[in-house]
Structure 1
Amino acid sequence: MKQYIGDGMLLVTAIIWGSGFVVTDIALNYFTAYQVMAGRFVLATILLTVLFGYKFKKFTKAVVRKGAILGTFLYMGFALQTVGLQYTTPSKNAFLTAVNVVIVPIIAYLIYKRRIDRFEMYGSIIAIVGIGLLSMQSSMIINIGDALSLGCAVAFAFNIFYTNLFVQKEDSISLTIVQFITASLLSVVSVFIQGDIPTAIEGEGMYSILYLAVFSTTIAYLTQNRALQFTTATKASIILSTESFFGMVLSVLFLHEVLTGRMIMGAMLIMMAILIAEIKPSFKKYTVKKSA
């Protein structure tokens, strides 16, 4: 029963993250990309501090250092994603962001020289083809928003890689708090550097920021961390990767985005690449048992 509860919580997280692409697109009508990031991270940090303020007493130098690293990658990922969304559609932004699942094993190879097996190679090739179909215009030139979205996928891949590494020794909630504090500071500094301090705040724009802070950031991350106690990492990754699908569906429903057949085919190929990259460990284990 707990396993099904965990899977359900992960599905809820994926839906929330998928809706985040749509809400961010709405927020960008009222704020700049850096204002949106600063708002969501500052509010999320305040919420986490209120909920888990007692964790501050247990902070160590290692937690602060590792949390700062995660926060930097998180900031880079959201900066590229949010700015990219200004130049591309929410559905394309969602699917290109999801490519981070395929990039993670490549990072593992480059840093730790872990061999990339044939399943990961197949997934990478299929993802590249899907990205081409999804992103290439008639002139065969990638839109700047698509390029930024791909850059965000790389940043999120590094964030996933180092999070998986750091949580083996450090408290995950403490790392998350430091991570959000770091992302908040970087976002606020960016707003001041850009000279984008808002002088007026409209209701719909503020509601969007609140949704992103409360649901897409605080609740989504807490739900994900809790759900991982009841299911496997592989199944969790598969379920969470559906955020790109929900991002596309919600974009069509609420933003009336028009999808072409080529974009749908590209999205399907990217989703197939993600599933191949994530199902691979279980498939290999099953093959070994069957042949034994």
Structure 2
Amino acid sequence: MNSKKLHSNLMLLLTAFIWGVSFVAQSVGMEYVGPFTFNSVRNFIGAFVLLLFIPLIDKTNRTSASTDPASDPAANVSSSDRRTLIIGGILCGICLAVASSFQQIGIAYTSVGKAGFITAMYIVIVPILGLFLGKKVRALAWISVGLSVVGLYLLCMTGSIALNKGDLLELICAFCFSFHIMIVDYLSPKVDGVRMSCIQFFICGIICGIPALLTESPNLHSILTAWQPILYAGGLSCAIGYTLQIVAQKNTDPVIASLLMSLESAFSLLAGWIILHQYLSPKELCGCLLMFAAIMLSQIPEKKPGAA
């Protein structure tokens, strides 16, 4: 495995960890504000955090470009590139808003465990979508996907497997997250990942803000009361987590990326165990171990034809 791919995979692993701990923050934040309000505010925070860092990143790039002009990604940005960046940010923002909204609505009609399991089915949907787009998936990756599904089942499922209204909504959420991953896979090598991430947060914040204003009557006092979990979710989960995803997917296969990001389920359970002192059963522990084993298996380099 080359160094770029290794660094990207480590970034995605960090992303999964940040998202996993964010479940704890979201659980606490929901005690004070509604789901749409929480999602809207956290995305706006993520966007503004990136706006603060973009000038610093540009300055660093200009410094690098003074010795190596080819290292400055902004040196030859055409109107076509800017259009691709804006369209990519809008599409990612729509997918993110729809996915997170369907996830929140679906939880009202199903168990949290089933919601987590069905949402994480993007690990199966992504390689299937890839086949339609002409992307080959090696056998070892399919085995890793299968192990992850079993691990997720042990991790999340506690009751009936029969599908209800909420489960179907969670399935729509899984498809939206899959489309998000595929859009990022296609566009991340072509655009500035940090800027695209910033645009997607603004779009997601606006879309989630509309139902928040219509159905939740958000107020400043409630938002300030929940400032700690909202700040974590906005500053770390959004600004850092989703941006790391976009940057890392430049050098990582989307199937492997989806597997690495699915570890958020395991990290959320471990975070709840450590931070909230929630009970971790042997079944759930086996699920975690299976998921980590699947990730390790997926990192075995592919044997090239003719190699000894």
Distance change (3 Å), C-alpha of 1:15 and 1:80: same
Shift, 1:80, TM fit: 3.3
1:192 counterpart residue number: 213
2: distance between equivalents of 1:184 and 1:129?
34
Counterpart residue type for residue 19 of structure 2: W
Q: Residues 135 and 143 of structure 1 are in contact (CA less than 8 Å); yes or no, is this contact kept in structure 2?
A: no
The match for 2:82 among 55, 60, 63 is 60
1:110-148 CA-partner distances (Å, limit 9, x unpaired): 3x1445554454445445545554554444435776665
1:3-28 CA-partner distances (Å, limit 9, x unpaired): 78777655544332221011111111
Distance change (3 Å), C-alpha of 1:146 and 1:208: farther
1: distance between equivalents of 2:253 and 2:176?
21
1: distance between equivalents of 2:114 and 2:291?
11
The match for 1:107 among 122, 125, 129 is 129
1:21 counterpart residue number: 23
2: distance between equivalents of 1:267 and 1:75?
28
Counterpart residue type for residue 88 of structure 2: K
Q: Residues 105 and 120 of structure 1 are in contact (CA less than 8 Å); yes or no, is this contact kept in structure 2?
A: no
Shift, 1:101, TM fit: 3.2
Q: Which runs of 5+ in 1 are unaligned?
A: none
1:233 aligns with 2:230: no
Distance change (3 Å), C-alpha of 1:23 and 1:84: farther
1: distance between equivalents of 2:27 and 2:115?
10
Name the Cα RMSD after superposition.
3.8
1:33-48 to structure 2, matched below 5 A, reads 33-48=35-50
The match for 2:177 among 148, 156, 160 is 156
Shift, 1:160, TM fit: 1.1
1:62-141 to structure 2, matched below 5 A, reads 62-83=84-105, 88-89=111-112, 97-110=119-132, 112-141=133-162
Q: Aligned residue pairs: how many?
A: 282
Shift, 1:212, TM fit: 0.8
Distance change (3 Å), C-alpha of 1:19 and 1:178: same
Q: Indicate the percent of aligned positions where both proteins have the same amino acid.
A: 23
2: distance between equivalents of 1:83 and 1:65?
27
| TM value normalised by structure 1 | 0.76
1:177 aligns with 2:198: yes
Q: Which runs of 5+ in 2 are unaligned?
A: 59-73
Distance change (3 Å), C-alpha of 1:271 and 1:96: farther
The match for 1:245 among 258, 266, 269 is 266
1: distance between equivalents of 2:49 and 2:224?
21
1: distance between equivalents of 2:166 and 2:152?
13
Shift, 1:64, TM fit: 1.6
| TM value normalised by structure 2 | 0.72
Shift, 1:83, TM fit: 4.4
1:193-232 to structure 2, matched below 5 A, reads 193-198=214-219, 200-201=221-222, 204-223=225-244
Q: Residues 263 and 291 of structure 2 are in contact (CA less than 8 Å); yes or no, is this contact kept in structure 1?
A: no
Counterpart residue type for residue 276 of structure 2: L
Counterpart residue type for residue 303 of structure 2: Y
1:286 aligns with 2:303: yes
Distance change (3 Å), C-alpha of 1:129 and 1:11: closer
1:33-84 CA-partner distances (Å, limit 9, x unpaired): 11110110111112222332689x9883322222111111111222234445
Counterpart residue type for residue 24 of structure 2: V
Shift, 1:244, TM fit: 2.7
Distance change (3 Å), C-alpha of 1:73 and 1:271: farther
2: distance between equivalents of 1:259 and 1:199?
36
Shift, 1:95, TM fit: 5.9
Counterpart residue type for residue 103 of structure 1: I
